[in-house]
A and B are shown apart, each in its own frame.
Chain A
Amino acid sequence: MEEVELGDDRLYLRPWRLGDAASVYEACQDREIQRWTSVPTPYLREHAESYVGEISPTAWRTGSGAIFGVFDLHTGQLLAATGVHQISEREVSAGGRAELGYWCAAWARGKGVMTGACRLVCEWAFADPSAGGLGLARIDWHAEVGNHASRRIAEKLGFTIEGTLRQRIVHRDRRLDAWVAGLLRGELR
């Protein structure tokens, strides 16, 4: 899959580069990111290097995922990560599907960064391939039950909570229930 960049008047989204490892490492030391996402704990420098240098480029190359670093357009500071992964069924004429995932650096919270960045990704993912998009019909979201901060972002984007999947997530050796939600083309806010 061809790599793309997205953005607006304050956010710049681009595929990760090797040079991002240091700032990803710094952002992922945050307790909230470690509490609610599947990043490794403790989060080592090598995890960041593998994420920006292997996992993300491989996802782009194989077409299984489109993962972006989110940067301040003006300062270049790392703000967040977002992307769609498990892209599938793109060959289906009615459009494919994928799952949205994200984390926001502690220093960028409360400013609408995460919602804005995810909106750019969803817009692109729903756009027709003739317009450079992925042509998805549905975007999935799931999070551990109780992750209200993530759920608020999903709901602001227009996601509908559709159910609770029992013991769907393995997190730090514990099995946890997951909220599941979906966003259909045309529902993005």
Chain B
Amino acid sequence: MREPTKHMRKLAVPPEPVEIAAGWLQLTPWSGDLAAEIVDLISDPDFQRWYVHPPDLGEDAAERFIRSRKERWRSGDLLSFAVRDATTGALVGDVQLSDLSPWDGSAWIGYSTAPAARGRGVAPHAVGVLTRWGFQAIGLHRIQLGHAVENPASCRVAIKAGYPAEGILRSSLPRSSGGWWDMEIHAAINPADS
């Protein structure tokens, strides 16, 4: 049975959203200038299909999205970044860390790419950058991700970003439309801890 242990790990989560330089990409906080692009991103059918809890659409969707990302960062519950083209500033996707556990230094990572930006390696690059940040800046030990087995594009991102597959957990990923997907789990381990 699980009981409190002495392995609490101090996670260095910045109190406010931060920006991370990522070469040809830029991971930034969510801001009002992205409102129109946010609506496009989160209303994409793939986004709505694969996200476990897709954000609400409808009136003020972008404003509510930006506000909730900011609040959830402050509560330490979700570190969500806009992924932008570093040259044009255009929104090309999102990437986030969630469920950060000071108990065992683990977290989950998630990502999506805007339809117009697919096929350029956006998600593998963004995930790779955020993974290194999670290990080096935050002090995480193990970052894991799960995707529906019906979503091979997400699996390819995971492999390219350095997350080998570890197993398929049946009926483990809530579907936004109800029920469960079988979920393939992948993980990356902090090389500095080995």
Interface residues of chain A, those whose CB is within 8 Å of chain B, are 37-40, 47, 50-51, 55, 67, 81, 83, 85, 89, 92-94, 97, 101-103, 137-138, 140, 160, 162-170, 173, 175, 180, 182, 184
In the assembled complex, B178 has its CB within 8 A of some CB on chain A: yes
A38 to B187, CA, bound (A): 23
User: Assuming the A-B contacts A92-B178, A165-B187, A175-B141, are A182 and B1 also in contact, with contact meaning beta carbons closer than 8 angstroms in the complex?
Assistant: no
Judging by beta carbons under 8 Å apart, are B1 and A101 in contact?
yes
Determine how close the nearest CB of chain B comes to the CB of A179; give it in whole angstroms: 9
Q: Which of B1, B7, B103 has the most CB of A within 10 A?
A: B1
Determine how close the nearest CB of chain B comes to the CB of A39; give it in whole angstroms: 6
**Closest A-B pairs by Cβ, 4 of them:** A163-B167, A94-B179, A170-B7, A162-B167
In the assembled complex, B60 has its CB within 8 A of some CB on chain A: no
User: Assuming the A-B contacts A40-B3, A85-B2, A94-B179, are A166 and B166 also in contact, with contact meaning beta carbons closer than 8 angstroms in the complex?
Assistant: yes
Judging by beta carbons under 8 Å apart, are A92 and B189 in contact?
no
User: Assuming the A-B contacts A94-B179, A167-B141, are A39 and B170 also in contact, with contact meaning beta carbons closer than 8 angstroms in the complex?
Assistant: no
Q: Is the interface of A mostly helix, strand, loop or mixed?
A: strand
Judging by beta carbons under 8 Å apart, are A67 and B142 in contact?
no
Number of residue pairs A-B, CB distance < 8 angstroms: 91
Other-chain contact of A166, B178, B179, B187 (Cβ < 8 Å): B187
Can you list 14 A-B pairs, Cβ within 8 angstroms, ordered by A? A40-B5, A55-B3, A81-B1, A85-B1, A94-B178, A138-B171, A162-B168, A167-B193, A170-B5, A175-B141, A180-B167, A180-B169, A182-B171, A184-B170
In the assembled complex, B172 has its CB within 8 A of some CB on chain A: yes
**Which chain B residue shows the least CB distance to A33?**
B1
Chain B residues whose C-beta falls within 8 Å of the C-beta of A40 in the assembled complex: 3, 5
Determine how close the nearest CB of chain A comes to the CB of B134; give it in whole angstroms: 15
In the assembled complex, B133 has its CB within 8 A of some CB on chain A: no
In the assembled complex, B24 has its CB within 8 A of some CB on chain A: no
Judging by beta carbons under 8 Å apart, are B3 and A39 in contact?
yes
Judging by beta carbons under 8 Å apart, are A38 and B5 in contact?
yes
**Which chain A residue shows the least CB distance to B184?**
A163
Chain B residues whose C-beta falls within 8 Å of the C-beta of A173 in the assembled complex: 7
In the assembled complex, B185 has its CB within 8 A of some CB on chain A: yes
Chain B residues whose C-beta falls within 8 Å of the C-beta of A47 in the assembled complex: 3
Chain A residues whose C-beta falls within 8 Å of the C-beta of B169 in the assembled complex: 140, 162-163, 180, 182
Judging by beta carbons under 8 Å apart, are A67 and B1 in contact?
yes
Determine how close the nearest CB of chain A comes to the CB of B188; give it in whole angstroms: 9
Judging by beta carbons under 8 Å apart, are B167 and A138 in contact?
no
Determine how close the nearest CB of chain A comes to the CB of B168; give it in whole angstroms: 6
Judging by beta carbons under 8 Å apart, are B187 and A137 in contact?
no
